[in-house]
Chains A and B, each alone.
Chain A
């Protein structure tokens, strides 16, 4: 009987250890969103401060300061200067409008980077997600004036995402990437935003592809959708399992 008892008590010790050591939240049923965009979040906070009565300019400036440096680094100093000046002048409409234009520039930056990183599936996808997260912050403004345009831009975003393709699951549901489609739909989005926000051009400052607020640079290896190299480990694993099964099935000494 002793082996049973020993086995059981060690098992319980293990279970107890798991329950106490691993924080409970780790098990909680959860779906986090890894695709948030820091600038867009900051914009929402700043606008919320400005829309208070009376408008909280000091609070808005303070909130904006936290992201200003990163913005300057990736988009040049002009966009943030416009926002800061409007905040100093206590001109709410000008500040919000300037920030919205900065967001449009950010969408452009993310989309251009996604195009440059096209061969790197995961990176380009993340960049698209961040572009969309930025657009989500702008969306209420557009929807309020032109719901059809909002619909159109969202459709274009869906199509850019589809243009990246999908590596599928074990080769099932593979969708080939289409760089030309990405460029087409990217241009549609940028054209729509540029016209709506009445901006002369979208190329302000300098874009640094793959970098930016809230986006650490990954040294990800490029993944091409249907790469034979990807199948090698899978085949290897299956072969080893087959080998084990066959070896176990073989006749053995008694």
Chain B
């Protein structure tokens, strides 16, 4: 395999991310990770359950080199994104041609979702690297042309990779199907079931390894279970949320339009409306048309390599269903493991346009890179909306007393300004108890829009005024890119308290 070519593309991916790395807190999760590299403590939610032990171990290493934990973790993400080029190149080349592999790798290097997550202090990019690596390894295992010893070794390696992957992101659970298929094909071809058992045992042991590490950190097995139970009990979706459509069809359209097309590929959505985005939309449609016609003519199971086709199918479909049904529909990052197959499909579709394909693909790469840069350009220079909110509230807290009712925003405010009184609300009675606990209310009573909207009570809004509004890129901060801070009006405080006393 020509190593220089993927290496060059990996360098491109790394270099294009470098100027845009995040420097500060933006949300609940990255604060968890930043606290965790300093003082890993599962019971204090540093980070939250299930602890991301394998990721955190690597992250702690990076944080030893760079003092700012957010920058260190973002650098790790960028590096993981760049390294993803190697397994992805190997996968595409093995199933298709080198030229296709180069195009998929280039488009991955400049992919908007990859650019966003490759510059943020989150675990997704590192998890995706292991996931793609697992697929590449499993693809080697199912190749009957290779020596049996090599296949056996790679099978065990796949098992270890799967264990590590779960230690990074347990939510990549369905990708285990890829490993299951590798086990099945290897066992069927060689009848060496000892190797199959070895691979399964290795995988289980790696999982056990990081689980044991977590138990040691918590202090005991019972304590660990208690945390697990608390994590599954309290859930986050009980409040607010920008997405309100409940119909499955509506949800599907939102998911495809906003996440797959707009966040994933750079197509138009809301304020993302430069002509680059429209060009992308046209080119993607051209790819789908070209690919659709060609796919109809291809007799996949007769001409293609069945083992490869099933493996790719198992890479995509189980996780696709999982991402749609079981993951937070508001966060585009959950579709990251599927970006490479998606890009691959589009490249393949555009290649059906024969002699036009180099032009089309070049145009797609260029406009994708442009949208990618547009999406992340404010990240190194502007504070995230949550951080802006924290600065504002801290300013108001100086000299005068204040209290702020929040939802997820609390984590960032407390991280930046521990002295500000924040209350994270989950239900009405908490709110009531908290307000009524004061014989005299603080000088300023703030509520974020998530809290106020979460009550679904129009009456409450009559007593508040908008104090400030904090905005950021919808793509960098998918759930909290537009935060409105309300303050209870000074002239209506008594009525407000009366309303709260009477209950809801």
B421 touches A47 (CB 8 A): no
Question: With A and B bound together, what is the CA distance between A120 and B435 in angstroms?
Answer: 37
A47 touches B437 (CB 8 A): yes
In the complex, residue of chain A having the shortest beta-carbon distance to the beta carbon of B43 = A125
B436 touches A220 (CB 8 A): no
A169 touches B217 (CB 8 A): yes
Q: Does A21 contact B (CB under 8 A)?
A: no
Q: Does A228 contact B (CB under 8 A)?
A: no
Q: Does A26 contact B (CB under 8 A)?
A: yes
A248 touches B198 (CB 8 A): yes
User: A45 to chain B: which residues have CB within 8 Å?
Assistant: 429, 433
User: B152 to chain A: which residues have CB within 8 Å?
Assistant: 248
B437 touches A31 (CB 8 A): no
Contact A220:B237 (CB < 8 A) given known A30-B232, A166-B39, A170-B213: no
A-B contact pairs, 11 of them (CB 8 A): A4-B306, A25-B235, A32-B233, A48-B435, A168-B217, A218-B223, A220-B223, A223-B219, A230-B216, A247-B198, A249-B149
Q: Mark B57-89, 1 if CB is under 8 A from A, else 0.
A: 100100000000000000000000000000000
- Give chain A nearest CB distance to B492 CB in angstroms: 17
Which residues of chain B (27-62) have a CB below 8 Å from chain A? 28, 39-41, 43, 45, 48-49, 53, 56-57, 60
Out of B195, B318, B429, which one reaches A11, CB within 8 Å?
B318
User: A147 to chain B: which residues have CB within 8 Å?
Assistant: 401, 419
User: Which B residues are within 8 Å of any A CB, using their own CB?
Assistant: 28, 39-41, 43, 45, 48-49, 53, 56-57, 60, 148-149, 152-153, 156, 160, 174, 177, 180-181, 184, 188, 195, 198, 201-202, 205-206, 208-209, 212-213, 216-220, 222-223, 226-227, 229-237, 301, 306, 310, 313-314, 318, 321, 325-328, 401, 403, 418-419, 421, 429, 432-440, 442, 498, 501
Q: Does A245 contact B (CB under 8 A)?
A: yes
- Partner-contacting stretch, out of A64-72, A82-90, A201-209, A233-241: A233-241
List the 3 closest A-B pairs by CB distance, nearest first.
A122-B219, A32-B234, A32-B230
User: B306 to chain A: which residues have CB within 8 Å?
Assistant: 1, 4
Q: Does A140 contact B (CB under 8 A)?
A: yes
A223 touches B326 (CB 8 A): no
**17 more A-B residue pairs beyond the given contacts A44-B434, A121-B219, with a C-beta to C-beta distance below 8 A:** A1-B301, A15-B318, A19-B321, A26-B232, A30-B237, A122-B43, A139-B421, A144-B401, A167-B217, A169-B53, A169-B60, A170-B216, A172-B60, A220-B220, A223-B219, A240-B201, A249-B149
User: B28 to chain A: which residues have CB within 8 Å?
Assistant: 31
User: Which A residues are within 8 Å of any B CB, using their own CB?
Assistant: 1, 3-4, 7-8, 11, 15, 19, 24-35, 44-45, 47-48, 51-53, 120-123, 125-126, 129, 137, 139-140, 143-144, 147, 151, 154, 166-170, 172-173, 175, 218-221, 223, 230, 233-234, 237-238, 240-241, 244-245, 247-249, 251-252, 254
B236 touches A44 (CB 8 A): no
B195 touches A7 (CB 8 A): no
A173 touches B60 (CB 8 A): yes
B220 touches A218 (CB 8 A): yes
Out of A11, A137, A241, A254, which one reaches B160, CB within 8 Å?
A241
- Give chain B nearest CB distance to A45 CB in angstroms: 6
B223 touches A170 (CB 8 A): no
Question: With A and B bound together, what is the CA distance between A238 and B148 in angstroms?
Answer: 25
In the complex, residue of chain B having the shortest beta-carbon distance to the beta carbon of A96 = B439
User: B321 to chain A: which residues have CB within 8 Å?
Assistant: 15, 19
Question: With A and B bound together, what is the CA distance between A30 and B43 in angstroms?
Answer: 14
Question: With A and B bound together, what is the CA distance between A63 and B43 in angstroms?
Answer: 30
Contact A169:B206 (CB < 8 A) given known A218-B220, A220-B222, A245-B153: no
Question: With A and B bound together, what is the CA distance between A123 and B43 in angstroms?
Answer: 11
Contact A122:B314 (CB < 8 A) given known A31-B234, A249-B149: no
Question: With A and B bound together, what is the CA distance between A178 and B42 in angstroms?
Answer: 20
A34 touches B53 (CB 8 A): no
User: B156 to chain A: which residues have CB within 8 Å?
Assistant: 244-245, 248
User: B188 to chain A: which residues have CB within 8 Å?
Assistant: 3
A166 touches B310 (CB 8 A): no
B184 touches A167 (CB 8 A): no
User: B440 to chain A: which residues have CB within 8 Å?
Assistant: 144
User: A1 to chain B: which residues have CB within 8 Å?
Assistant: 301, 306
Question: With A and B bound together, what is the CA distance between A244 and B156 in angstroms?
Answer: 8
- Give chain A nearest CB distance to B209 CB in angstroms: 5
Out of A11, A47, A168, which one reaches B180, CB within 8 Å?
A11
- Give chain B nearest CB distance to A60 CB in angstroms: 11
A252 touches B149 (CB 8 A): yes
Question: With A and B bound together, what is the CA distance between A52 and B497 in angstroms?
Answer: 9
B230 touches A170 (CB 8 A): no
A8 touches B310 (CB 8 A): yes
Contact A241:B205 (CB < 8 A) given known A47-B433, A169-B57: yes
A44 touches B437 (CB 8 A): yes
Question: With A and B bound together, what is the CA distance between A109 and B419 in angstroms?
Answer: 26
A52 touches B195 (CB 8 A): no
B153 touches A249 (CB 8 A): yes
A34 touches B216 (CB 8 A): no
